[in-house]
């Protein structure tokens, strides 16, 4: 029986990955798997598993030989439950990875890559303690923090090696997956050799190794806020992203993103309520192009509202309550999500 190299990808699918970043990750996974299937060493040795994490973690691809892998679809969700993803990693290693015994040479030590652009929103510490309790040592873990709002102090406690990807763009993520592909191919050639992939494989543009003893200072947790809004005309959901400006001391609008129909099934990770007058600007509704928003005074949900064409009575698209303008003001205290 051939010894396998189990490779785990733990992918952040939280709100902060909305738009081009999540699309680039999905494309990168597809291209990586296609390239690995053409590599004889990887094809013979590597088995791939993918865990997506947001408010919850889910195994979207169980440990599978390369020839049988079908690239998964990644879905945007609220939250960043890295602890739940580590628990799934532990469960898979215990269940799927063959241990070495006196009669059998087991699988090679698994290789895990964590890709995230923020900070965990759940009990990652307890999950890490459970993971490292797996004997022998559970996995070589690489953590790749993408963008400027990554908690490298936390990642440094989880991973053997931390890498930084400066920009969270489609191009930079494409370069990252080129590096990941080459790393898995290299590990497949000599799975028993010391890895040091960050030294063997040239890092892509914008990538660097983080000194875990002196990690970059973590920025304020609520640098970005995300608001879930319903279109009054189509009843479809979308998200508004605001980023805090120290210069202006308000949150400035950045972009709006359509949300999947089942987005609210996993709940959301709430930030403290904020006065709407601290939110500057508004990104158009992606469905009807309305340029404003209101809040239902009954169910509390947000909906798009065209400030120049407002009826005397408005129907909340979420709870269907008939509202007067006094029940749908555009100045209010609003709950945000931390992504």
Average pLDDT of the residues in 81-100: 93
pLDDT, position 329: 54
- The mean per-residue pLDDT over the stretch 98-113 comes to 89
336: confidence class by pLDDT, cuts 50, 70, 90: low
Distances (CA, A) of 40 to 36, 126, 294: 8, 39, 57
Q: pLDDT above 70 covers what percent of the chain?
A: 89
What is the residue-averaged pLDDT of the chain? 87
Where does residue 275 fall: left (phi above 0), alpha (psi -120 to 50 degrees), or beta otherwise? beta
Which residue, 196, 14, 12, is CA-closest to 111?
196
pLDDT at 222: 63
Angle at 49 between CA 150 and CA 79, to 5 degrees: 35
**Site of tokens 């990586």:** 32
pLDDT at residue 335 greater than cutoff 70 = no
For 116, residues 6+ apart whose C-beta sits below 8 A from its C-beta are: 10, 12, 80, 82, 143, 144, 145, 146, 150, 155
Beta pairing partners, 8: 49, 112
Q: What is the dihedral of CA 171, 173, 179, 181, to 10 degrees?
A: -110
For 275, the 3-state DSSP assignment is strand
The domains of the chain are located at 5-209, 224-337
Residue 19, φ and ψ in degrees, nearest 5 = 85, -135
Q: Rounded mean pLDDT of 196-217?
A: 90
| Tally of CB atoms within 10 A around 186 | 18
Beta-bridged to residue 315, according to DSSP, are: 322
The pLDDT, as a whole number, for residue 324 is 74
pTM: 0.88
Q: What is the DSSP letter of 69?
A: -
H helical segments located in the chain: 20-37, 40-45, 82-96, 124-132, 152-158, 170-189, 197-200
pLDDT at residue 337, rounded to an integer: 60
Average pLDDT of span 192-212: 88
Structural tokens at position 237:
């959901």
Alpha-carbon distance of 228 to 8, in angstroms, equals 31
Domain spanning 5-209: CATH superfamily: von Willebrand factor, type A domain (3.40.50.410)
Higher pLDDT, 298 or 64: 64
Judge if the upstream peptide bond of residue 317 is cis by omega within 30 degrees of 0. no
């Amino acid at each position: 029986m051939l010894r396998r190299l189990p490779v785990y990808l733990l992918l952040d699918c939280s709100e902060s990955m909305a738009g081009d970043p999540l699309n680039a990750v999905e494309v990168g996974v597809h291209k990586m798997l296609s390239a690995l299937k053409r590599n004889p060493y990887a094809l013979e040795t590597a088995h791939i598993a993918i865990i997506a994490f947001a408010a919850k973690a889910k195994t979207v691809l169980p440990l599978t030989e390369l020839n049988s892998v079908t690239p998964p679809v990644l879905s945007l969700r609220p939250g960043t439950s890295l602890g739940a993803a580590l628990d799934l990693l532990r469960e898979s290693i215990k269940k799927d990875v063959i241990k070495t015994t006196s009669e059998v040479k087991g699988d090679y030590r698994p290789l895990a890559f964590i890709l995230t652009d923020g900070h965990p929103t759940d009990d990652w510490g307890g999950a890490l303690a459970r993971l490292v309790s797996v004997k022998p040592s559970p996995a070589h873990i690489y953590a790749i923090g993408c963008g400027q709002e990554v908690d490298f102090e936390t990642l440094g406690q989880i991973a053997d090696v931390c890498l930084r990807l400066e920009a969270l763009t489609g191009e930079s993520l494409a370069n990252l997956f080129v590096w990941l592909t080459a790393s898995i191919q290299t590990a497949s050639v000599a799975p028993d050799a010391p890895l040091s992939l960050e030294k063997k494989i040239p890092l892509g543009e914008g990538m660097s190794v983080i000194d875990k003893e002196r990690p970059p200072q973590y920025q304020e947790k609520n640098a970005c806020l995300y608001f879930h809004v319903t279109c009054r005309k189509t009843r479809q959901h979308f998200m508004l992203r605001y980023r805090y400006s120290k210069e202006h001391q308000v949150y400035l609008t950045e972009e709006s993103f359509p949300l999947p129909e089942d987005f609210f099934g996993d709940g959301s990770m709430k930030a403290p309520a904020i006065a709407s007058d601290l939110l500057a600007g508004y990104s158009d509704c992606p469905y009807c192009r309305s340029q404003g928003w209101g809040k239902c005074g009954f169910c509390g949900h947000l909906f798009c509202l065209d400030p120049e064409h407002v009826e005397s009575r408005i129907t909340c698209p979420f709870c269907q309550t008939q509202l007067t303008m006094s029940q749908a003001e555009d100045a209010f205290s609003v709950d945000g999500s931390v992504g």
